[in-house]
């Protein structure tokens, strides 16, 4: 999966197998809001190689993106959605609900697995309306935490309404599970934690020559907070490093203007969406994620799996990924001075970079193994099917 989901797994079939509890292969519909580059899309793409031998799988999403290529590589049908989109819209949301109801009536899946906030609500509602017996929702980060104001309240209300319609909620971190239980968006007995995983890469030697390179990856939109990262760069000594940001989004213009205003045009480069994030990681000295809210970000896992030391905000599931001062450095969100200080520490200390990068690589290998992660999902599907048959 290219971009922020840089696993090289689309074309490789998984060794993970499942003995399903039904005579025919169960029908599984995976719904996600967008097919674009992103962590949730990487999650779905990572599952696909393990599923097609045991399930009749269909993936549905809106728009173009590398998820379509991942489906094609695994011979899995992809259904382009017309109305299930990210922004809140009474018209599109209602049309999207009817669109999903029609799709489920045609496919008659035994399992609907919804991903991302908008699709999570609409797909569960459509699955209940069409009597799909197993309705799973993966929380990549609760929307009521990532948004503010009216949008946060609407998502909170919607997730609470979906709770009794949900067979199982998968949280990607213990932090997200605790938040969901506290806000009554999931039930303890019907919620499990399956932490994200990544394909381990060979630990790369640190790049030589030129100024140190700092890499950020993500959508240029809240809750990602590249503005704080850019301001942190302005606090570092001139020419001490270069920052490259891979990703695109609605805040690109404002971020570009801020870069110009701070005199960082020669220091900070906005790369746009990229399909070579794995190569960008291999060329980088430090990886930074300065988000205000996160679940269990794939981009940090991919940096760890490549052996790149990480500086990140201490939010969401990030402290479950990055052990402060052991496998990376954590700072408070929105604190540009603390962020600049952490980056400067790594830039000034090659031995610390090597130590943290090596420890992060070992942690990714030991705790976030891709095949184990796939087995956890397939075993969950199998158990829920067995319960239903019983």
Q: Residue 344: pLDDT above 80?
A: yes
Q: Residue 19: pLDDT above 80?
A: no
Task: State the pLDDT at residue 10.
Answer: 40
Share of residues in the chain with pLDDT > 90 (%):
82
d(CA 208, CA 354): 13
pLDDT digits (tens, 9 = 90+) for 101-112: 999 999 999 999
Task: State the pLDDT at residue 389.
Answer: 87
Task: State the pLDDT at residue 1.
Answer: 40
Task: State the pLDDT at residue 86.
Answer: 76
pLDDT digits (tens, 9 = 90+) for 296-327: 999 999 999 999 999 999 999 999 999 999 99
SS3 label, residue 29: strand
Query: Of 37, 39, 59, 63, nearest to 49 (Cα)?
Result: 59
Residues 70, 38 contacting (CB under 8 angstroms)? no
Task: State the pLDDT at residue 201.
Answer: 86
Domains present along the chain, CATH in parentheses: 27-197+369-389 (3.40.50.2000), 213-367 (3.40.50.2000)
N-terminal to C-terminal alpha carbon distance within the chain: 37
Q: Residue 2: pLDDT above 80?
A: no
d(CA 376, CA 172): 12
Share of residues in the chain with pLDDT > 70 (%):
94
Q: What is the mean pLDDT of residues 57-66?
A: 95
H, E, C per residue of 217-242:
ECCCCCCCCHHHHHHHHHHCCCCCCE
Residue 187 pLDDT class (50, 70, 90 cuts): very high
Q: What is the mean pLDDT of residues 70-92?
A: 91
Residue 277 pLDDT class (50, 70, 90 cuts): very high
Q: Phi and psi dihedrals of 302, rounded to 5?
A: -65, -35
Q: Residue 206: pLDDT above 90?
A: no
Task: State the pLDDT at residue 15.
Answer: 53
Q: What is the mean pLDDT of residues 54-79?
A: 96
Q: Residue 6: pLDDT above 80?
A: no
Task: State the pLDDT at residue 13.
Answer: 45
DSSP 124-152: HHHHHHTT-SEEEEEESS-HHHH--HHHH
Mean pLDDT in the chain?
92
Q: What is the mean pLDDT of residues 190-197?
A: 96
Q: What is the mean pLDDT of residues 179-201?
A: 95
Question: How many residues are there in the chain?
Answer: 390
Structure tokens of 89?
């819209």
Q: Residue 21: pLDDT above 80?
A: no
Q: Residue 36: pLDDT above 50?
A: yes
Q: Phi and psi dihedrals of 52, rounded to 5?
A: -65, -25
Q: Residue 140: pLDDT above 50?
A: yes
Q: Residue 257: pLDDT above 90?
A: yes
Task: State the pLDDT at residue 146.
Answer: 84
Query: Of 117, 114, 178, nearest to 151 (Cα)?
Result: 117
Task: State the pLDDT at residue 8.
Answer: 42
Q: Residue 65: pLDDT above 70?
A: yes
Q: Phi and psi dihedrals of 334, rounded to 5?
A: 80, 0
Q: Residue 255: pLDDT above 50?
A: yes
Q: Where are the alpha helices (DSSP H) in 57-164?
A: 66-73, 90-107, 117-129, 143-146, 149-162
Q: What is the mean pLDDT of residues 67-96?
A: 92
Residue 16 pLDDT class (50, 70, 90 cuts): low
Query: Of 291, 285, 317, nearest to 227 (Cα)?
Result: 291
């Amino acid at each position: 999966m290219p971009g922020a989901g840089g696993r090289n797994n689309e074309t490789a079939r998984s060794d993970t197998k499942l003995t399903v509890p039904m005579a025919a292969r169960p029908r599984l519909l995976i719904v996600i809001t967008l097919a674009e580059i992103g962590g949730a899309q990487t999650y779905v793409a990572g599952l696909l190689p393990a599923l097609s031998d045991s399930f009749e799988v269909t993936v549905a999403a809106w728009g173009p993106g590398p998820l379509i290529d991942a489906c094609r590589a695994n011979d899995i049908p992809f259904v382009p959605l017309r109305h299930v989109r990210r922004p809140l819209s009474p018209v599109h949301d209602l049309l999207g609900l009817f669109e999903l109801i029609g799709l489920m009536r045609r496919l008659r899946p035994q399992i609907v697995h919804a991903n991302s906030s908008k699709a999570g609500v609409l797909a569960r509602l459509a699955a209940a309306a069409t009597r799909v017996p197993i309705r799973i929702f993966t929380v990549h980060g609760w929307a009521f935490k990532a948004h503010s104001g009216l949008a946060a309240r609407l998502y909170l209300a919607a997730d609470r309404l979906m709770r009794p319609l949900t067979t199982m909620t998968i949280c990607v971190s213990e932090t997200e599970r605790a938040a969901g239980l506290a806000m009554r968006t999931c039930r303890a007995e019907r919620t499990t934690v399956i932490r994200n995983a990544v394909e381990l890469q060979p630990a790369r030697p640190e790049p030589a020559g030129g100024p140190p390179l700092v890499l950020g990856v993500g959508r240029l939109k809240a809750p990602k907070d590249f503005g704080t990262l850019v301001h942190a760069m302005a606090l570092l000594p001139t020419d001490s490093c270069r920052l490259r940001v891979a990703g695109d989004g609605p805040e690109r213009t404002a971020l570009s203007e801020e870069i110009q205003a701070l005199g960082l045009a020669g220091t900070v480069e906005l790369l746009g969406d990229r399909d070579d994030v794995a190569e960008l990681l291999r060329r980088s000295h430090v990886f930074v994620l300065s988000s205000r809210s996160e679940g269990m970000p794939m981009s940090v896992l991919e940096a760890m799996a490549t052996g790149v030391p990480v500086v990140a905000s201490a939010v969401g599931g990030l402290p479950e990924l990055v052990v402060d001062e052991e496998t990376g450095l954590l700072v408070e969100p929105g604190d540009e001075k603390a962020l600049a200080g952490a980056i400067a520490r790594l830039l000034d200390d090659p031995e610390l970079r090597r130590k943290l990068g090596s420890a992060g690589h070992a942690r990714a290998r030991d705790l976030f193994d891709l095949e184990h992660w796939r087995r956890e999902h397939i075993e969950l599907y199998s158990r829920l099917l067995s319960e239903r048959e019983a």
